[in-house]
Amino acid sequence: MESLKEISDKIINSSHSDKLEILISVRAFLFDNPEINGLIFDDFSHYDDVLEKNIIKSNTEIKIANEQYIKKIGLKSQDIFLLPKNKKNSLINLVESLLDDYDCKIVFDKCRADPFLSDDLYLFINQNLNHFSKKNIEIFEKRSKELVVLINYANIQKEVYETCFTISRKNKIRYYWVNMWGLSKTYKNPGIVENLLL
């Protein structure tokens, strides 16, 4: 297992051509969710095109891409997973400070991989409506509404300690959500969700 300094050095010295993608991938693993995708919006990109590139990927493809990016700097997912919490927090601060140096907006689609995380992408779309097509706005609006309905239906109370029953229910809800909104075909044909059975 590599030390914190070795991992930090690898992150800082990563190649300039892929550095932003590598930072996004390292961040996903640091938050223990390698299926989180970071969308990069800058002045030169068409926002709808960036969104479309995200839509055509499944969660599995996102995870594989994140693993390939961290391999480029000689890291393994296990190296990050086995780090203690305090070292992970230190690396998160490092990655966040490096991401702040870029002149672009990076939005993490956390909700796609876990319905219990915030839907930052939908909030970003709502704040920049004039940059997105009506079709894409409607798709993510639908996803957001279904997320609220699902979380309300689950009715999971926040507690200091979670019981095995609560953890099991959360995992079932996550699997259900990922099988609906973690697939690229759902975004291409949002009507498919109505045909799914619980």
- Evaluate if residue 1 carries a pLDDT over 60: no
- Average pLDDT for the chain: 85
**Cα–Cα distance, 54 to 44 (Å, whole number):** 17
**For residue range 92-129, what is the model confidence (pLDDT) as tens digits?**
999 999 888 888 899 999 999 889 888 999 999 999 99
Q: What is the pLDDT of residue 168?
A: 86
Q: What is the pLDDT of residue 90?
A: 92
**Cα–Cα distance, 19 to 74 (Å, whole number):** 13
Q: State the total domains in the chain.
A: 1
Q: What is the pLDDT of residue 197?
A: 44
- Evaluate if residue 141 carries a pLDDT over 90: yes
Residue range 47-64: average pLDDT?
Answer: 90
**Cα–Cα distance, 99 to 95 (Å, whole number):** 6
**For residue range 161-182, what is the model confidence (pLDDT) as tens digits?**
778 888 888 888 888 888 888 8
Q: Domain range for residue 28?
A: 4-195
For the ranges 6-10, 138-142, 184-188, 193-197, which has the lowest average pLDDT?
Answer: 193-197
For the ranges 11-20, 22-31, 96-105, which has the lowest average pLDDT?
Answer: 11-20
196, 186 in Cβ contact below 8 A? no
Question: Helix axis angle, 134-154 relative to 47-55, nearest 10°?
Answer: 50
Q: What is the pLDDT of residue 17?
A: 66
The phi, psi pair for 53, rounded to 5°, reads -65, -35
